[in-house]
Chains A and B, each alone.
Chain A
């Protein structure tokens, strides 16, 4: 049995002798993401910028996509295609997707020009890109579920490409029942899982600082991007020190 030592606030803290997989997993998770990093009360001053808003805007849009999608799925197509309220909820589902992609793309642009993969944040960057790609597939299946001539056109334009890469049997865009399952179960779970992982990685590594504030980030100080490695000089003349021979 593992020993417990009371912390200052009285909460028992597990010692280092965890020997079960649950104990080891808990120790690993608490080491990677202690509660004060998971739910921080403060952020660096550079986070007070519109450049740090769009990721959460995308998450807020995704939440409404899921909520409205649940309402649409439970009431069915004959509700959301015919009734006024159904059409309205259907429209909010579409427009929250539009906002989700706009916020996600602006977030992507801002983080690209911020080189957000710096300081050991490569996996955060990769999960962001994966969530973007999976979201495109999820949105594509949504367009297929409009059950109008647009969706029929899109399906028949897409089927040849999907058959050519050998996925047509399991991702048959002309089979609206199969695409409905992809759209309301598998792809939302995939998008949700990748987005949750992305947000957790942001909490583990912290938000990336602007390029000019790199010295304020502990992860960058410990990496090759540390301020001890100044930016590459623009030209040899810029790197010359006073007194150096020209």
Chain B
């Protein structure tokens, strides 16, 4: 039981927060948003492998 509690506590971190003026965001959330934007742009510009072989 004690190990369970310690394991639970150990997963809790304060996190890193970035802020500009009145805007604050947690670093992990910012990374996820940026990754999604990068995936969106790459999906539009990258050629699909094997796409030219299709009719």
A residues sitting closer than 8 Å to B (CB atoms) are 45, 48-51, 53-54, 77-78, 81-82, 87, 98, 101-102, 105-106, 109-110, 146-150
Contacts and interface: CB of A to CB of B under 8 A. Distances in A.
Given A48-B51, A82-B4, A106 B12 contact: no
Interface residues of B, number: 21
Interface in B39-55: 39-40, 42-44, 46, 48, 50-51, 54-55
B19 interface: no
Interface in B1-48: 3-4, 7-9, 11-12, 32, 35-36, 39-40, 42-44, 46, 48
Contacts of A109: 36, 40
B43 A53 contact: yes
Given A78-B4, A105-B36, A106-B36, A146 B11 contact: yes
A150 B13 CA distance: 8
Contacts of A82: 3-4, 7
A149 B12 contact: yes
A87 B12 CA distance: 14
Contacts of B54: 45, 48
Contacts of B35: 102
Contacts of A150: 11-12
